[in-house]
Amino acid sequence: MALSNKSKKGQTMEKKDFDMDVVKCRIAKLIDKSGKTLRELEEATGISNGTWSMWKQGKKLPRADNLFEIAQYFNVSADWLIGLSDKPVVDTLTKEHEQIIAADVTGLSIGAVERLSYKSDGYDWIAPNGQFAPSQWLDNRKGVLSGMIEDETLYKIIASVIRYKHCLKIDIERENVEELGGVIETPTVKGEKIAKYDAQETLMLYFAKIRQEMIESAKVGEQNGTANKKNKKGR
């Protein structure tokens, strides 16, 4: 089994190959030692008994996040589970391990996870190399990001960006061919303009939604304030 993730520069992290037999044997040993049935493990972890069965038989290897789930459930070291250690003791997850898990679960790059989890100490606005340190994602910014993901606003904007890049590529290729005196049979429109419009419209709708939510929140606040005043007068 190999774990690999790309950094923000697109480079692949160092791969470590695991012995499938070791993983299978140690998972089987943990299951047998626990005395639990596969159905009980499913109820306790949310992982199907069929998946537990395939892991136990070595027909399938757990993903990185599953490996840490197994290690945590059985209170053993993830390194021991995959054969990198002979001591089945619990290791404290390092920041690197946490980032690998987060990247594996979300599909984001290690670089993106690092940026989201970066915390400034208040004195590193200029990095040692003279460059500006990365911006810290404060809780209110993460809240907005979460909201935009949950209501699919961000998805729609990113879809527009992808469409823009695709259409722009076609238009550039078309212009290059025409400069050489050729003709592209597939007619194209300035699709990048449409994509830009879609992204702008999505943002405008999002801003309108925020405005409406704030107006409604203010009304509720006013109503609560009025009710409190009436209650005080009635005493």
Q: Please state the three-class secondary structure of 98-120 as a single string.
A: HHHHHHHHHCCCHHHHHHHHCCC
Round to whole Å and give the CA distance between 149 and 145: 6
Helix orientation angle between 64-74 and 38-45, rounded to the nearest 10 degrees: 100
Residue 13: per-residue pLDDT: 32
What is residue 34's three-state secondary structure? Answer: helix
Domain boundary among 99, 115, 137: 137
Do 122 and 10 fall within a single domain? yes
Do 85 and 175 fall within a single domain? no
In which domain, by residue range, is 158 found?
143-234
Mean of the per-residue pLDDT values for the chain? 76
For residue 8, what are its two tokens? 């923000």
Do 123 and 164 fall within a single domain? no
Q: Is the dihedral of CA 18, 92, 127, 114 positive or negative?
A: positive
For residue 139, what are its two tokens? 């809780």
Do 155 and 208 fall within a single domain? yes
Do 112 and 33 fall within a single domain? yes
For residue 112, what are its two tokens? 């993106």
Looking at residues 53-70, what average pLDDT do you find?
A: 87
Domain boundary among 137, 154, 169: 137
Looking at residues 87-112, what average pLDDT do you find?
A: 75
Q: The CATH number of the domain where 67 resides is what?
A: 1.10.260.40
The position carrying tokens 């949950």 is: 150
Span 130-143, pLDDT tens digits: 555 667 788 888 88
Round to whole Å and give the CA distance between 235 and 226: 15
Residue 184: per-residue pLDDT: 54
Do 155 and 95 fall within a single domain? no
The closest alpha carbon to 55, from 40, 67, 37, belongs to 67
Do 123 and 150 fall within a single domain? no
Looking at residues 8-21, what average pLDDT do you find?
A: 49
Q: What is the pTM of this model?
A: 0.48
pLDDT band at 48 (very low <50, low <70, confident <90, very high): very high
Do 131 and 166 fall within a single domain? no
Domain count, the chain: 2
Do 123 and 202 fall within a single domain? no
Do 113 and 44 fall within a single domain? yes
What single letter denotes the amino acid at residue 80? W
**Of residues 147 and 118, which shows the higher confidence score?**
147
Looking at residues 17-38, what average pLDDT do you find?
A: 84
Q: Quick check: 7 and 13 in contact, CB under 8 A?
A: yes
Residue 52: per-residue pLDDT: 93
Do 8 and 76 fall within a single domain? yes
**Of residues 4 and 232, which shows the higher confidence score?**
232
Domain boundary among 91, 113, 137: 137
Do 97 and 166 fall within a single domain? no
Residue 12: per-residue pLDDT: 33
